Structures are given as C-alpha cells and as structure tokens.
Amino acid sequence: MSGKAKPDYAKAIAVDFDTIPIIDLTDIHTPQGFALIAGEMMTATQQSGFFYITNHCIDRAVIEKAFAASRTFFKLPQADKATISVNHQQRGWMAQGMTNLEGAKTHDAKEVFFWGWDVAANDPDVVAGLPMVAPNQWPEDVAPDLKSDLLTYYTQVVALSRLVLSALAVGLGQKADFFDTAYEKPLARGQLVYYPTSTQQDEKEQRFGAATHSDFGVLTMLLQDMQGGLQVQNLAGNWIEAPPIKGSFVCNIGDLLERWTNNRLVSTKHRVLNKSGADRYSIPIFCDPASQTIIDPRDFGISDADALFEPIAAGAYIASKNTRNFSQYKK
C-alpha cells in the first residue's frame, strides 16, 4: 500500500488480507456455493463486521465511469457545487468542514456529494414526509452526465447488496427472501467522497478524512480507490489497515443491523486518513431499507425478555444520527 507514515493519533497495524476476510462470489448462484458464502459472511460479520467481496459481476467499465464522474464533480468550482448545497434530507454537496462526527476532536477533512433512491417530488413517500425520502439534487447545468453515470452504478450495487443480504439472512437462520419487502424501495443512500491528502495542520489538530465512527444503517457497500487510508478497529480494540484490493468492494455491517440482530452481528468502528500524497476517492452505498421499516430484534426470534433494543423505524433512526453529525442541521 502506498502512503507516508501515519501520525501517532492514527497508528494502525498492517495485516494480512485474511484478517479481514475476502469472500469470492463466483459460486453464489449455485445452492452449494450460496450456502458456503452465507457461512463465510456470517463468520466475518460476527468476528470483524467487515469483509471484501470479489467476483461480484459489476462491470469494470461501470465502476471506472462512476469514479471518473466523481473526480469530475469534485474538480468543479466551489460556486458551481454550491448551487446544490446539501439540504436537511441529506441530498446534494457538502463542503469540507461540515462533518463533525460524534466524539471527534475536530471536523472531517472530506467533501461529499449525497444522493439516494431517485424519487419525484410528488412521490407518495415524499408527500407523506417520511424521513430520509426526498428528491435528489443533480447538478445538471454543470455536470449533466453525473446522474446517469451514478445511477447506472448505483442500481447495480443495490442489486448486489440484495444478494449479500439474502446470504446474510440465510446465515441468520431465515429464508433468503427475509429482507426483500424492506428493500423494494430502499433508502440506499449513496455518497461520492473526496479526501484531500492530510496536511501538517490536519495532523496538528488530529484531523481525519473521516473520524472514528460506525455506520448508521444496515449494510455498507464501499468502493475505494487504490490510495489506501481505511482503518478498522478489531474486536481487541486495535486499529488495522483495510488496504484496497483492486476490483473489490468492502462490505460492513451498520448500527441498524447490529441492533436488528440483537448484537449478533458487529457494527465495527472505522476511520479514514489519507496520507498517500494524492487525492483519494471512494463511493459508499449505504444499503438501508425503506424509511418506514421497523427494526426489531424480535424479527429474528428474540424474546421480549432477551431483546436489547426497542423497535425503531429505519429512516427516523438515520435522520436522528444525521442531525448530530452534520452541521447543516445546526443552522
């Protein structure tokens, strides 16, 4: 992995790839392969909360086009990006300095473009005011191809996430279609993320590209470039590097799935520090269910006495986390 030495506040151990498992999806469409992969995913999500997937069948050209669209967008003048400044439904462009993750010493260095399931202003869920359901803001005047390039990629990743979730469902003792209803019209929040290389001032203020956090939702499907910088906290509390593997996705469990499974699966803390000396880009899709989906451990056969969490709606939970972590809600 390329990059300069990490400063003391961001030390992490370089480890073999099998510390964060690599799961090959080649045989997932065969009964035997599906069962084997479901078991591998369960082991990974219980032990580290993170795993790589390879041979996922998303075309390399689609991936490269999404990355190219990201680089083009972030190179636009700030005034052009500001025409779609992020709103309270977490759609649009967020400038550097607007992410203040809970517990962090300072704001993140990253810059983000947010979008989600593409709905119209008159969509019944928008009209009903469901949390986190809103029309996207597309910069069509200054980046006319961004929408089509991203939605092609996004649609394929959401389909892949449904396949991953079906394997996790079986690993959890449910039928493969357990999550299907909740994902007919998912939130599936997307981000383009730009991480400038860390500066001496960032190090002085102990600033990360993305400070220590766990993801808010159910399942994250992350595409990262080859610059490195992702670090994951293992069960022993040590920080380890999650180096990029060309053509792979990094998958991790979020808070809602940890909650849904009554802590059976692990929502792992992670962070990003870009010391590569070059710009870093990533594209996470937070594959969360429909806003009104009730997250309840009892769905997995947990008794009332053993349930660690009360039921909560997915959209309301994510919206509440956003208000505590992003500065546009404080204006």
| Chain segment 37-71, per-residue pLDDT in tens | 999 999 999 888 899 999 998 999 999 999 999 99
Residue-level pLDDT at 15: 54
Closest residue by Cα to residue 62 from 164, 150, 192, 160: 150
Domains and CATH numbers, the chain: 8-291+299-330 (2.60.120.330)
| Residue that wins the pLDDT comparison between 105 and 314 | 314
How many C-beta atoms surround the C-beta of residue 64 within 10 A? Answer: 11
Q: How far apart are CA 61 and CA 122, in angstroms?
A: 34
| Chain segment 169-216, per-residue pLDDT in tens | 999 999 999 999 999 999 999 999 999 999 889 888 889 889 999 999
Q: In angstroms, what CA-CA distances link 231 with 96, 113, 239, 267?
A: 20, 22, 6, 14
**Range from 12-26, 63-77, 266-280 carrying the lowest mean pLDDT:** 12-26
- DSSP letter, residue 8: G
CB 66 within 8 A of CB 308: no
Closest residue by Cα to residue 271 from 190, 188, 200, 198: 198
Q: In what order do the strands lie in the sheet with 111-115?
A: 22-24, 50-54, 249-253, 219-224, 280-287, 189-195, 111-115, 92-94
